[in-house]
């Protein structure tokens, strides 16, 4: 399923620099938060974590910074693994700049959705899940409107992953459901700008 065939980390970095750098940033910030480095971890979390009430008071950067924050090893591993699996094909198709823009925009859209649902919420939130679901939303657009861009087996995999992801979103505990849903909607909505609806001979080959 979306197998990677790169022979080394160096080759992966060379082929997919944006995915690689985002993954490095995720783990680097996670380390800074969890290593015993005095007040650094508290500063990073307190300044960067998503907090709707503080956003309503003008701390707009909190719609962006939570994308790179993860508190637990499980959280950073899951989101980074998802990025490594789903990101390379899109980075190759879109190019580095567009792929980075899509990742950040959908992550921000997920956080905006979280804010709109409950702007006075005191519950903090963080993580790259909105951006990950943004990538999945973009894949879903291709499945629906640009079947020529991926093989039927890959389209089936996308649908299965999305169904499982949505089920886990709504039955799991401690999950920012709004970020998942709005991030996915954001990715789907950006599909027409990136791919249109016309047919082409280009095909996404996952795992190559």
For residue 119, give every residue at least 6 positions away whose Cβ sits within 8 Å of its Cβ, in sequence order, or none.
52, 53, 55, 56
Interatomic CA distance for residues 36 and 24, integer angstroms: 20
Query: Which residue of the set 28, 129, 200, 201 is catalytic?
Result: 129
Query: Which residue of the set 41, 180, 200, 205 is catalytic?
Result: 180
Please, how many CA atoms are within 13 Å of residue 77, restricted to the half-sphere of its CB? 3
Whether 94 and 102 have beta carbons less than 8 Å apart is answered as yes
Interatomic CA distance for residues 112 and 119, integer angstroms: 9
Phi, psi values for residue 150, rounded to 5°: -150, 155
First-to-last C-alpha distance (Å) of the chain? 12
Find the radius of gyration of the CA atoms of the chain: 17
129 an active-site residue?
A: yes
Q: Where are the alpha helices (DSSP H) in the chain?
A: 9-15, 17-34, 40-48, 52-56, 73-94, 96-117, 129-145, 152-171, 177-195
70 an active-site residue?
A: no
- From the CB of residue 7, how many other CB atoms can be counted at a distance below 10 Å? 8
Catalytic positions, written as ranges: 129, 180
């Amino acid at each position: 399923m979306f197998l990677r065939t790169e022979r080394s980390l160096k080759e992966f970095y060379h082929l997919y620099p944006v995915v690689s750098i985002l993954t490095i940033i995720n783990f680097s910030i996670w380390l800074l938060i969890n290593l015993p480095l005095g007040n650094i971890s508290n500063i990073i979390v307190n300044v960067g974590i998503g907090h709707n009430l503080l956003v309503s008071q003008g701390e707009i950067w909190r719609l962006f910074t939570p994308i790179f924050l993860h508190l637990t090893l499980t959280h950073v591993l899951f989101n980074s693994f998802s990025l490594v699996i789903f990101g390379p094909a899109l980075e190759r198709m879109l190019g580095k700049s567009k792929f980075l823009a899509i990742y950040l925009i959908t992550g921000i859209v997920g956080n905006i959705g979280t804010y709109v649902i409950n702007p006075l919420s005191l519950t903090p939130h963080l993580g790259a899940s909105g951006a990950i679901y943004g990538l999945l939303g973009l894949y879903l657009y291709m499945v629906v409107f640009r079947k020529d861009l991926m093989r039927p087996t890959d389209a089936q995999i996308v649908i299965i992953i999305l169904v499982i992801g949505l089920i886990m979103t709504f039955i799991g505990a401690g999950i920012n459901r709004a970020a998942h849903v709005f991030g996915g909607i954001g990715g789907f909505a950006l599909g027409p700008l990136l791919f249109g609806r016309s047919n082409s001979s280009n095909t996404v080959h996952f795992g190559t």
